[in-house]
Amino acid sequence: MGSNFVYLVAAIAALSGLLFGYDTGVISGALPFIKTQFTLSPEGEGMVVSGVLFGATFSSMISGSLTDKFGRKKVLLTTALLFAAGSVLAAYAPSVDLLVAGRVILGLAIGVASFAAPLYIAEMAPPKVRGTLVAMNQLAIVTGILLSYVIDYYFSASGDWHSMILLGTVPAVLLAIGMLTLPESPRWLVVNEQEDKAGAVLKKVRGTDEVQEEFAEIRTSLAEEKGDWREFFAPHLRSALIIGVGLGMFQQFTGINTVIYYAPKIYKAAGLTSDSVGIMATAGVGLVNLIMTIVSLVLIDRIGRRPLLIIGNLGMLLSLGALSLTFLFNASADVLKFVGIGSTFVYVAFFAISLGPVFWVMISEIYPLRIRGFAMAMATALSWLSNMIVSYTFPVVLDKFGIGATFGGYALITVASLIFCMKLVPETKGLSLESIEKQERKGAFHT
């Protein structure tokens, strides 16, 4: 039962990832109709899109404290309620202000869920499949994005952006029901001196009574920790700090969400003038994202985290360069359409096997238990802050400099990301969370 149960745990928790993906992706198809109804300027478009990002940035900063105080399970349950409330408010908003308010509420839920779900899954999973199970959350995110594109396309003929957003309540209800049936993280229970419950949970998720060694590792890890958030900045964790923050920022500043949020706008610039055709092409991006994320699930615990990051960054760099140069040199209309669509597909494919899932896996692994909540929250918050900056500025920068120069800038940032991953990111494949911590204390991860 244990091996099957841990997959069920991951699947239910990953519903928060599905909501993350749906509520960030749905705006791509809804935005053209919202723009028409409310006569939005480029700055107004940025506000509608980045409302989610503002909420997520704020809530991710406090998500570590919330999960440490109230537990991983209760926090995920609360996010389900926020997802439902935000969807209803945004869908029925009679004004831009209320629409942005609904999007901010959705962002509050997304910010916490993007942190709490990988943490919860990592603390429940055995080492040999931890990377795969945590990456299931990324699979759920891209599934949510693809689902949002399909829903967008279905309602695009009528321009019913209200229904596009409202359907996000369905997985929110499923998440709430599912989390009610799951146990709390055994590691959180040990921290909070509920060792009997922790032992019972470990036996259930492992499917065996032989959990003494893992239980002892958790206890030893706690005994060695000071339990002070300031340890986040201690010398032996400096590399972990740099890795988490760096991966989070590069995940966003390499431009992924310009494609996720603004794909129809990019395709229109490439010559696809129909909103419906643009949304269909965007759905193709979502499908590529889904397929390649599934590929990452197979590879992440086989070839490791670091090789995927290097291969992915190389592919992203080449595709961004192709997109940039095609627009800078004013290619023909047919070439623009081909490269405009093809390069975004290739770019998303390489992102989906690298920075997409690996960031979430790495930050759930590299921090000691007593500060894991705080440390993951900081890395997640900086990722969301970077996301907000990119998404808010993209329509303005695009309007001023054009697609060629804009994506040329993202290509240069990807060069920095590639160098960062090659020089600084260690391999954690197959190691228990406590073993990773021991290596950090020995200086094995020092830069």
CATH number at residue 98: 1.20.1250.20
Q: pLDDT band at 309, cuts 50/70/90?
A: very high
Q: Could you tell me if residue 344 is inside a domain? A: yes
| Greatest mean pLDDT among 41-55, 115-129, 164-178 | 164-178
pLDDT score, position 194: 87
Phi and psi (nearest 5°) for 433? -60, -40
* Phi, psi angle pair for 226, to nearest 5°: -80, -25
205, part of any domain: no
DSSP type of residue 237: G
Domain-located, residue 216: no
Q: What is the pLDDT of residues 224-276, one digit of tens each?
A: 555 555 665 666 677 888 888 999 999 999 999 888 767 777 777 777 666 66
**Averaged pLDDT score across all residues of the chain:** 85
Q: What distance in Å separates the CA atoms of residue 107 and residue 196, rounded to the nearest whole number?
A: 36
Tell me the pLDDT band of 433, cut-offs 50, 70 and 90.
Answer: low
- 86, 96, 171, 316 from 12: Cα distances, Å: 20, 33, 10, 31
Percent of the chain with pLDDT over 70: 89
Cα distance between residue 123 and residue 190, in whole Å: 12
The mean pLDDT of 28-36, rounded to a whole number, is 88
Whether 369 is in a domain gets the answer: yes
Q: At what angle do helices 275-299 and 355-365 cross, to 10 degrees?
A: 40
Alpha carbons 290 and 286: distance in angstroms, whole number:
6
Give just the sign of the alpha carbon dihedral 360, 361, 366, 372. Answer: positive
Q: In whole angstroms, give the CA distance from residue 40 to residue 50.
A: 14
The answer to whether 198 and 229 have CB atoms below 8 angstroms apart is: no
Q: 447 CB contacts (<8 Å, ≥6 apart)?
A: 238, 239, 242, 423, 424
Domains contained in the chain, number: 1
Q: Is 363 within the bounds of a domain?
A: yes
> Does an H or E element contain 291, and which?
helix 275-299
- CA 421 to chain CA centroid, Å, is 18
Q: Give the per-residue pLDDT at 109.
A: 97
Residue 126 sits in which domain range? 2-182+225-441
Binning pLDDT at 50, 70 and 90, where does residue 220 land? confident
- 8 Å CB contact between 377 and 62: yes
3-state SS, residue 259: helix
Could you please report the per-residue DSSP string of 43-85? HHHHHHHHHHHHHHHHHHHHHHHHHHHH-HHHHHHHHHHHHHH
- The helix-helix angle for 369-424 and 238-253 (nearest 10°) equals 70
Place of tokens 């399970």: 73
Q: Give residue 309's identity as a one-letter amino acid code.
A: L
Between 132 and 418, where is the model more confident?
A: 418
111-120, 389-398, 434-443: range with highest mean pLDDT: 111-120
How many other CB atoms are found less than 10 A from the CB of residue 135?
A: 29
pLDDT number for residue 390: 87
pLDDT in tens, 178-204: 999 999 998 888 888 888 888 888 888
Q: Is residue 42 part of a domain?
A: yes
Could you tell me if residue 111 is inside a domain?
yes
Residue 9: pLDDT over 50: yes
pLDDT beyond 70 at 359: yes
Residue 105 to residue 343: CA distance in whole angstroms? 34
* pLDDT for residue 381 is more than 80: yes
Residue 419 lies in a domain: yes
Vertex 361: Cα angle to 261 and 119 (nearest 5): 95
Please state whether the predicted TM-score (pTM) of the whole model is above 0.85.
no
